[in-house]
Structure 1
Amino acid sequence: MELTITGSANKLSVSDDVFGRDFSEDLVHQVVVAYRNAGRAGTKAQLTRAEVSGTTKKSKKQKGGGARHGALTAPIFVGGGVTFAAKPRSFAQKVNRKMYRAAISSILSELNRQGRLKVVESFDIDAPKTKGLVEKLAGYELGKRPLIVTEDASENLFLSARNLPYVQVRDVQGLDPVALVGADSVLITADAVKKVEEWLA
């Protein structure tokens, strides 16, 4: 298949397996959830009644004082332990390489079908100026949340987009499913397309 290059009469030949794949919502959902879970810290920790600081001596006599209670470290008391205390753990889910690449291809194919994937010959900025990037992006209809993908994103481009809360810049190595799914549209250079195709083929 061929991709139209914005602002040029040329077309870019690409693989149907990468940019013409059928969309698999289940696969994309699984990979996106796994990617987000892998970024979770998992450092939450609480104390059980055995770990909380305090004496485990019986708080009052067994009979004659109303309700029967043992140690004040029990979960029913303020300052006591937690019944099912959270402990540090990993939220990582296993996603093999074939599934991950297939999900990326599926997202790119769907973006292309919806007309939200725009290919340009090149995209860079001369100086690290936010105003310059805003003016350059105004020439494309990218929506409020554009994703810019280049073969090797320059420092000027990263710095220019840093103050724009909804504009993301990625190089091919840093491309991830969450960024692709969350973007209104993707602006990608021709060199980056070829590099993505080599990666996913």
Structure 2
Amino acid sequence: MEIAIRNHAGAASVQVSDAVFGVEYKPGLIHQVITAYMAGARSGTKAQKTRSEVSGGGAKPWRQKGTGRARAGSSRSPIWRSGGVTFAAKPRDYSQKVNRKMYRGAVRSILSELVRSERLVVVPELSLPAPKTKELVALLKTLDVKNVLILTDGMDDVLYLASRNLPNVGVLSAQEVDPVSMVAFDIMLATEAAVKKLEERLA
């Protein structure tokens, strides 16, 4: 299949593989992969102490009978101040297993949907003379794109520095793009070289 190249002198297009940019849209697979990707980013380091882990409470606070007060065996009971937590949180691993075939399938499905909905904009190249935010804003205005993920064939420090102050603009290379970033923006703006590198990565 062919994807039109914007901002090119005359009509031009880039030839891409149907196996990467023309597959069926699978929302269930995409949801599973994105959920697993975001779960893997959780630290899971929350921790609280149970009644056995809180210091103190070794002696019975008062005798069992004759005081007129309720029975108490420990001053570190969960119902006491400074006591332990009933269902204490413990460090845990939130990661979910997603094999390579599922991950690549989800990325192909997202890319194909971007192409079908005309949300993948391909340009011959993308560069700025200096890392200035106003120059990137002017470039995006020329291309008529907003809320955009810029995809390059290699990490471009100039583009990255120029985009840091823009809340709805992200810059990633084709090697590090992930499903969460791909669905977080309305438009994906990619260079021709980035599209080819992405195709090689998913082939």
TM-score (norm 2): 0.95
Q: Which residue of 1 aligns with 2:30?
A: 28
- Quote the Cα distance in structure 2 between the aligned partners of 1:75 and 1:40: 28
- Quote the Cα distance in structure 2 between the aligned partners of 1:151 and 1:18: 17
What's the offset of the Cα at 1:57? 1.2
| Runs of 5+ unmatched residues, structure 2 | none
Q: Which residue of 1 aligns with 2:184?
A: 182
Task: Give, as a single letter, the amino acid of the residue that structure 2 aligns with 1:5.
Answer: I
User: Which runs of structure 2 are paired with 1:43-62 in the superposition (5 Å)?
Assistant: 43-62=45-64
Matched, 1:83 2:86: yes
User: What is the alpha-carbon root mean square deviation over aligned residues?
Assistant: 1.0
What's the offset of the Cα at 1:153? 2.6
- Quote the Cα distance in structure 2 between the aligned partners of 1:162 and 1:69: 59
CA offsets 1:108-158 (integer angstroms, 9 cap, x no match):
111111111101101111111111111111112323x21000101311111
Matched, 1:107 2:120: no
Task: Give, as a single letter, the amino acid of the residue that structure 2 aligns with 1:7.
Answer: N
User: Which runs of structure 2 are paired with 1:113-192 in the superposition (5 Å)?
Assistant: 113-143=116-146, 145-192=147-194
Q: Which residue of 1 aligns with 2:4?
A: 4
CA offsets 1:144-198 (integer angstroms, 9 cap, x no match):
x210001013111110011112210000111000000111110011101011111
- Quote the Cα distance in structure 2 between the aligned partners of 1:14 and 1:173: 17
Q: Which runs of 4+ in 1 moved over 3 A?
A: none
Task: Give, as a single letter, the amino acid of the residue that structure 2 aligns with 1:79.
Answer: S
Identity %: 52
- Does the CA contact (< 8 Å) of 1:142 and 1:186 recur in 2? no
Q: Which residue of 1 aligns with 2:100?
A: 97
Task: Give, as a single letter, the amino acid of the residue that structure 1 aligns with 2:42.
Answer: R
What's the offset of the Cα at 1:55? 2.4
- Quote the Cα distance in structure 2 between the aligned partners of 1:67 and 1:55: 16
- Does the CA contact (< 8 Å) of 1:42 and 1:88 recur in 2? yes
- Quote the Cα distance in structure 2 between the aligned partners of 1:56 and 1:113: 68
CA offsets 1:25-80 (integer angstroms, 9 cap, x no match):
11000000010011111110100111112222111221232321110111111211
- What is the aligned length? 200
- Matched residue SS, 2:150: strand
